[in-house]
Amino acid sequence: MNLRQIEVFRAVMQAGSITGAAELLHVSQPGISRMLSHVELQMGLRLFERRKGRLLATPEAQALYAEVEQVYRGVSRIDECAQALKAGSLLTLRVLASPSTGLEMVPRAIAALTQEHPSARLSLEVVSAREMAQRLLAREADVAISTLRIDEAPLGSRAIGQWTLACVFPQAHAFSKRRTLAPRDVLKERLIAFSADTPQGRIMADWRRQLKLAPEAPIEVRAGQTACALAACGAGIAVVDDLTARGCMTDRLAFRPIQGAPSFDIFAVTHRGVATSMLGKKFEAHAEAALKRLRQAS
């Protein structure tokens, strides 16, 4: 039986007559009769008995109808699944974020996505760039928002915005009276330094060489959040990425942009061998929008 024959057979079983089936399917009665006769001939089975203008389903027809209904229930479930996927209720998204983007930018994007798809299942983990690559390659995550480009094949990095550097310091510091800070002024202060193998550490090393300054840097850290916590306690000032500066603000800490500070791209990183889901595409758009709003608010 082909799909059209199944449809006609089901309509006859539900309506109990040729006339009723024709009305259900919006076709002519002779067309229904011919189709039923062809099905019975093709199958070699008598599906209906005609008695005084009525159709009586045979036991064979009842058995066939039970199977047909199972198929239709399956089709109905498929349609329900498609509608749920469209609404995002059956979708999951596993997001990775670098420490700075995980403070405010990515949480804002996820909050916007949950408002749009409240039934979607989302997860967020803050990890290093190296772990991002490992997790994406193993297909244990769907998308990562990174402050570093990850070029390891078959991963792809797409720039969605930029970050720059800012100086964080205690609220009572003299820098709080200024709108921007010059690199030379920053490097003359007691500095909470970054390890030489970190992006901030390399940038600061370049500045020191260019300006021929050797700032006092008795404290060394590897994370921007740690630098901000130390600065808030009066241990010194620190140069961190502007996303961390914004995300760590308290009533004890302030930050200012640094004149001429370089800008660096922020990337959405995905596996090229895996198609991006509708939820993933919307998340990337929300992440890009969240970053833009953060930069505009500064």
Question: What's the confidence (pLDDT) of residue 131?
Answer: 94
Query: Does residue 106 fall inside a structural domain?
Result: yes
Nearest Cα residue to 131 out of 111, 105, 152, 110:
152
Looking at the fold, whether 147 and 272 belong to one and the same domain comes out as yes
The Cα 132–Cα 150 span in angstroms is: 9
- The domain boundary residue, chosen from 87, 117, 138: 87
Question: What's the confidence (pLDDT) of residue 85?
Answer: 67
CA 22 vs CA 6, 54, 105, 166, 270: distances in Å? 14, 14, 59, 75, 53
Query: Does residue 37 fall inside a structural domain?
Result: yes
The Cα 10–Cα 75 span in angstroms is: 14
Peptide bond into 215 cis (omega under 30): no
The Cα 129–Cα 261 span in angstroms is: 23
Query: Does residue 154 fall inside a structural domain?
Result: yes
Looking at the fold, whether 119 and 241 belong to one and the same domain comes out as no
Taking the chain (298 residues) in consecutive chunks of 10 residues, what is each chunk's mean pLDDT? 82 85 87 86 85 80 86 73 65 92 96 90 92 93 94 92 94 94 91 88 85 86 94 95 93 94 93 90 96 83
Query: Does residue 237 fall inside a structural domain?
Result: yes
Question: What's the confidence (pLDDT) of residue 88?
Answer: 58
- For the chain, the first-to-last Cα distance in angstroms comes to 68
- The domain boundary residue, chosen from 87, 104, 120: 87
Question: What's the confidence (pLDDT) of residue 141?
Answer: 94
Radius of gyration of the chain (CA): 33
How far is C-alpha 255 from the geometric centre of its chain's CA atoms? Answer: 30
CA atoms within 13 A on the CB side of 153: 0
Question: What's the confidence (pLDDT) of residue 134?
Answer: 94
Looking at the fold, whether 41 and 83 belong to one and the same domain comes out as yes
Q: Where are the alpha helices (H) located in the chain, listed in sequence order? A: 3-15, 18-25, 29-43, 59-87, 105-116, 129-137, 183-187, 199-211, 224-232, 242-247, 278-297
Looking at the fold, whether 107 and 140 belong to one and the same domain comes out as yes
Looking at the fold, whether 144 and 291 belong to one and the same domain comes out as yes
Structurally, the chain folds into a number of domains equal to 3
Quote the domain boundaries for residue 184: 165-257
Query: Does residue 262 fall inside a structural domain?
Result: no
Give yes or no for a contact between 247 and 297, defined as CB atoms under 8 angstroms apart.
no
Can you give the CATH number for the domain in which 169 is found? 3.40.190.10
Query: Does residue 234 fall inside a structural domain?
Result: yes
Query: Does residue 252 fall inside a structural domain?
Result: yes
**E strand or H helix that includes residue 163:** strand 155-163
Looking at the fold, whether 134 and 175 belong to one and the same domain comes out as no
3-state secondary structure (DSSP) of residue 43? helix
DSSP state string for 207-275: HHHHHT------EEES-HHHHHHHHHTTS-EEEEEHHHHHHT--TTEEEEEBTT---EEEEEEEETTSP
Per the listing, tokens 């021929």 go with 212
Question: What's the confidence (pLDDT) of residue 90?
Answer: 62
